[in-house]
Amino acid sequence: MRPADLLLGLVFNVPLLSILGVHEMGHYTAARRHRVRVTPPYFIPFLPIPPLPGTMGALIKLKSPFPDRNALMDIGAAGPLAGAAVAIPVMIVGLLLSEVRRTTGTLGVPLGESLLFKLLSRIVLGEIPAGYDVILHPVAYAGWLGMYITMLNLIPAGQLDGGHVAFALFGERFAEVARLVPYALLLMGLAGNGWFVWAALLFVMGTAHPRPIAEEVPLTPMRRAFGVAAGVLFLLCFTLDPFPIGKG
């Protein structure tokens, strides 16, 4: 491997792993603050098949139940919010390093655009003229993936971050809605690539969520604000077709 190739890999992987690492450390720190037993974060390797990043992300494992809904909200929302705090500046720097070129039809793998990506792109690059495309720098692609992974984690089902947040907000009332999420993802798979995989994972993992020990303890206004912020972040990072490969 040439040194230049290794450097290019580091330029991509360092910001991506920073986003994922800070995300998991957000969970870890919140869990420790509430005295929930938890493992340190560790990364999950994956085959580097473009446009996939060579990792399935990072995770921590909870070893004791949630004390109450406030702890559940803190632990569930801390990861996405902390990760986004890194992903956004990474995306901004990456866009500053990116190029705007005339469209040729052979510029690489197309990526879906979330509301957050469109907003940052407009602020950093201005309006892109017709017939031109943005060629993302590896740092920008790391930021894009960070936003995409944040959105996936905030899907409101099971023990995903979004499942934690939704259960903290709505309690058992959310269970009926959560059961429908995999079916919604199947429908989304008709319009965008990748959703069938996540639907299958939820069918396997299940959409149920364990109850906190003191479920009757109400959420504080601050924790409700965390939940709203997490929901807004999900909408900002959402893209129906993240990898529109082979579509005109």
Can you say whether the dihedral through the CA atoms of 213, 216, 219, 220 is positive or negative?
Answer: negative
Using H for helix, E for strand and C for coil, what is the string for 13-61? HHHHHHHHHHHHHHHHHHHHHCCCCECCCEEEECCCCCCCCCEEEEECC
- SS3 of 133-158: the string is EEECCHHHHHHHHHHHHHHHHCCCCC
pLDDT digits (tens, 9 = 90+) for 216-226: 899 999 999 99
As given in the structure block, the two tokens for residue 242 are: 């993240």
CA pair distance 194, 92, nearest whole angstrom: 26
pLDDT-derived band at 247 (thresholds 50, 70, 90) equals: low
Q: In the predicted model, what is the mean pLDDT of residues 185-205? A: 88
DSSP string, 178-227: HHHHHHHHHHHTTTSTTHHHHHHHHHHH-S--PPPTBTTSPPPHHHHHHH
Mean pLDDT of the chain: 89
Q: How far apart are CA 26 and CA 47, in angstroms?
A: 26
**Is the distance from CB of 199 to CB of 182 less than 8 angstroms?**
yes
Q: With 90 as the cut, is the pLDDT of residue 32 above it?
A: yes
Lowest model confidence (mean pLDDT) among 27-41, 51-65, 123-137: 51-65
CA nearest 137: which of 171, 101, 162, 175? 101
Q: Where are the domains of the chain?
A: 3-237
Q: What pLDDT score does 178 carry? A: 92
Residue 244 is predicted with a pLDDT of 82
Q: How confident is the model at residue 51 (pLDDT cuts 50, 70, 90)?
A: low
Q: Please give the DSSP secondary-structure letter assigned to residue 122.
A: H
Residue 170 has pLDDT above 60, yes or no: yes
Residue with tokens 């604000």: 225
Residue 8: strand, helix, or coil = helix
The per-residue pLDDT for 28 is 94
> The whole model's pTM is what?
0.90
* pLDDT recorded at residue 47: 64
Model pLDDT, residue 138: 92
Of all residues in the chain, the percent with pLDDT exceeding 90 is 62
Sorting pLDDT into bands at 50, 70 and 90, what band is 105?
low
